[in-house]
Amino acid sequence: MLKSYHMYVNGNWIEASSGERFDSLDPYTQQPWASIPQASDDDVNQAIAAARRAFKAGWGRLPGMQRAKLMLKLADIVERDHVALSRIETMDNGKVIRETAAQVRFAARQLRYFAGYADKLRGAVVPLDSPEVFDFTMREPYGVVGLITAWNSPIALLSNKLPAALAAGNCVVLKPSEHASASTLEFCRMVEEAGFPPGVINVVTGDDRVGKAVSSAQGFDKISFTGSPAAGREVAAAAARNLIPCILELGGKSPNIVFEDADLPRAIVGALAGIFAAGGQTCIAGSRLLVQRGVYDKVVAELTRRAQGIVMGDPSDPATEMGTMANQPQFDRIMQSIERARDSGARLITGGGRPTAPHLKHGLFIEPTIFADVSNDMEIAQHEIFGPILAVIPFETEEQAVEIANNTSYGLAAGVWTQDLSRAMRMIYAMNSGVVWVNTYRMVASQAPFGGRKSSGFGRERGEEGLAEFTTPKNVMIDFSNEARDPFSAKT
């Protein structure tokens, strides 16, 4: 029997006004397990109106300490129920339980981190040329913000947006992906238990029609979107027609660069985790592995050995190391990309198809796949695949590594593996990306800002910079000179 979910609007669990629903498929069994409402434009407008009422009722003016208290209570509930919530997300998108559980616990950390800022939204005193005019700035919430998340890590992506928005005093309307909505709706049961006022947090669900309704609605003051560059352009264009600012966290084709002097055992682990963790379905995947020629053959051989030993299976089993692709359309896109890579001349080292083990035959599994001798102008090196596909590119010199690394339309993340401090510093400055990891990869922290350049989007999430994205500055001037300053009076 399908688990039937409802949307969460104005503190109530509601059915879509259209009466339409769609099934959520477990990508491991390919069987429907949940029923999700398909929101209409009216439902979206109802959610926006609820958020606006909650904001006007005082959420934005509520003392930060009181907002923080609710956020901290929510964090405790999320942490208490993290196992149940992570199981739901794993069932929804096929990501292994060991990763979804860690991401849900990190969501609690995000709530606590930003709760600490809720009563510390400070402005600044600004010295002016006139000594008799006092000038200061203050940070205010935008009001109502739309948060649109993707299917690969719904709770993790939500935690990059929602805590900062709440701490700043905004009310929100959430729109999760139609491919993975259940965990966000379950999260709202925790919101309800924590005691947030009605309308502060609302969720509408559905397909691209709902995403378009959210991005084009006139009731928002800002939109934060995570997804593909193509969808990001559509969101930005729709928001621009209403002069609404956006935060866009989009895709990546991130270089993971291994120099000859690197600690190779660590670098190989970093390369494996960089692409095969989460089945490669992450925007920060190190999908281009640049390896200096002197250690190229050794690195490729060891990566192949390790990749062939990755355990695939039931994503809800803690022993499973790599789960399924999240949905059928994504599975099909990845398989097509593998075929095109073969046709382009890239050398397939391992993987490249569906695993043959009987217990994997029903799930959307793709073998960990490595292509060697890839040229950076190949499609596999230029286009985000969003799957467990690694393109290994040889290089000779540091200058060549920089040229290859920066030669994509993306600019999200980069990894550098070297024991030469001077080289590490040069590479940090040379990388045209929003994030650079040195001797590690895919490491995140609540305090560390995250975001990209070029086709990877703009704006930042997490850290003080992420908080600032959900506030807008107001400047205040106070003239205490007692002078009229009449521009129409004659001067003598």
Convert the pLDDT of each residue in 46-99 to its tens digit: 999 999 999 999 998 999 999 999 999 999 999 999 999 999 999 999 999 999
Residue 342 C-alpha from the chain's centroid: 30
DSSP E strand stretches across 311-465 = 347-350, 369-372, 389-395, 410-411, 413-417, 435-438, 453-454, 457-458
Q: Which two tokens stand for residue 246?
A: 């956006």
Written as six digits, the tokens of 374 are: 């890839």
What's the confidence (pLDDT) of residue 491?
Answer: 63
Of the candidate CATH numbers 3.40.50.150, 3.40.50.1220, 3.30.70.1450, 3.40.309.10, the domain formed by 255-438 belongs to 3.40.309.10
Domain ranges of the chain: 3-250+456-476, 255-438
Catalytic site includes residue 283: yes
Helix ranges restricted to H, 195-291? 208-216, 229-241, 264-276
Bridge partners for 36 per DSSP: 22
Percent of the chain with pLDDT over 70: 100
pLDDT at 13: 98
Which pairing describes strands 12-14 and 7-9: parallel, antiparallel, or unpaired?
Answer: antiparallel
Q: What is the DSSP letter of 59?
A: I
Active site (annotated) includes residue 178: no
Phi-psi region for residue 483, left (φ > 0), alpha (ψ -120 to 50) or beta? beta
Given a cut of 90, is residue 1 above it in pLDDT?
no
Alpha helices by DSSP H, listed for 278-327, are 296-308
Contacts of 19 (CB under 8 A, 6+ apart): none
106 CB-near residues (< 8 Å, 6+ apart): 156, 159, 444, 446
* Residues 30-34, mean pLDDT to the nearest whole number: 95
Sign of the CA dihedral with 282 first, then 30, 187, and 146 last: positive
Taking 70 as the threshold, does the pLDDT of residue 478 lie above it?
yes
Amino acid 224 reads S
458, 248 in Cβ contact below 8 A? yes
For residues 335, 339, 340, 341, the Cα torsion angle rounded to the nearest 10 degrees is 100
What mean pLDDT is predicted for residues 472-481? 97
Categorize the per-residue pLDDT at 198 as very low, low, confident or very high, splitting at 50, 70 and 90. very high
**Helical H runs in 55-131?**
64-80, 82-93, 97-115
Catalytic choice (178, 249, 384, 461)? 249
C-alpha 65, offset from chain centre: 27
3-250+456-476: CATH architecture: 3-Layer(aba) Sandwich (3.40)
Name the band, by pLDDT with cuts 50, 70 and 90, for residue 489. confident
d(CA 158, CA 100): 13
d(CA 50, CA 44): 10
Position 484 scores a pLDDT of: 87
pTM of the model: 0.95
Alpha-carbon torsion (380, 383, 384, 385), positive or negative: negative
**Minimal CA–CA distance to 286: which of 275, 301, 298?**
275
Question: Tokens 């994030």 sit at which residue?
Answer: 435
Torsional sign, CA 459, 450, 385, 264: positive
Residue 364 · residue 327 · CB < 8 Å: yes
Q: Which two tokens stand for residue 455?
A: 């086709």
Average pLDDT of every residue of the chain: 96
Rg of the chain on CA atoms, in Å = 24
Q: With contact defined as beta carbons under 8 Å apart, do 222 and 142 qualify?
A: yes
In 10 A of CB 218, how many CB atoms?
Answer: 10
pLDDT in tens, 403-454: 999 999 999 999 999 999 999 999 999 999 999 999 999 999 999 999 999 9
Residue 143 binned pLDDT confidence (cut-offs 50, 70, 90): very high
**Lowest mean pLDDT across 89-93, 99-103, 110-114, 485-489:** 485-489
Instruction: Return d(Cα 295, Cα 262) in angstroms, integer.
Output: 9
Residue written as token pair 């009229």: 484
Residue the block writes with tokens 């399924």: 324
- Tell me what pLDDT residue 204 has: 98
Q: What's residue 263's pLDDT? A: 98
Q: Which of 99, 178, 283, 461 is catalytic?
A: 283
Tokens at 297, concatenated: 């053959």
Find the farthest-apart pair of alpha carbons in the chain and give their distance in angstroms, rounded.
97
Question: Which strands, in side-by-side order, build the sheet including 3-4?
Answer: 3-4, 31-37, 21-26
| E-assigned strand segments in 87-181 | 125-126, 133-141, 144-148, 171-175
CA 354 to chain centre: 27
> Which DSSP category does 315 fall into?
T
Taking alpha carbons only, the member of 478, 477, 473 closest to residue 121 is 473
Grade residue 282 by pLDDT with cuts at 50, 70 and 90. Answer: very high
pLDDT band at 490 (very low <50, low <70, confident <90, very high): confident
Quick one: how far is CA 121 from the chain centroid? 24
Please report which confidence band the pLDDT of residue 127 belongs to, taking 50, 70 and 90 as the band edges.
very high
Predicted confidence at residue 308, as pLDDT, reads 97
The yes-or-no verdict on residue 492 having pLDDT over 80 is no
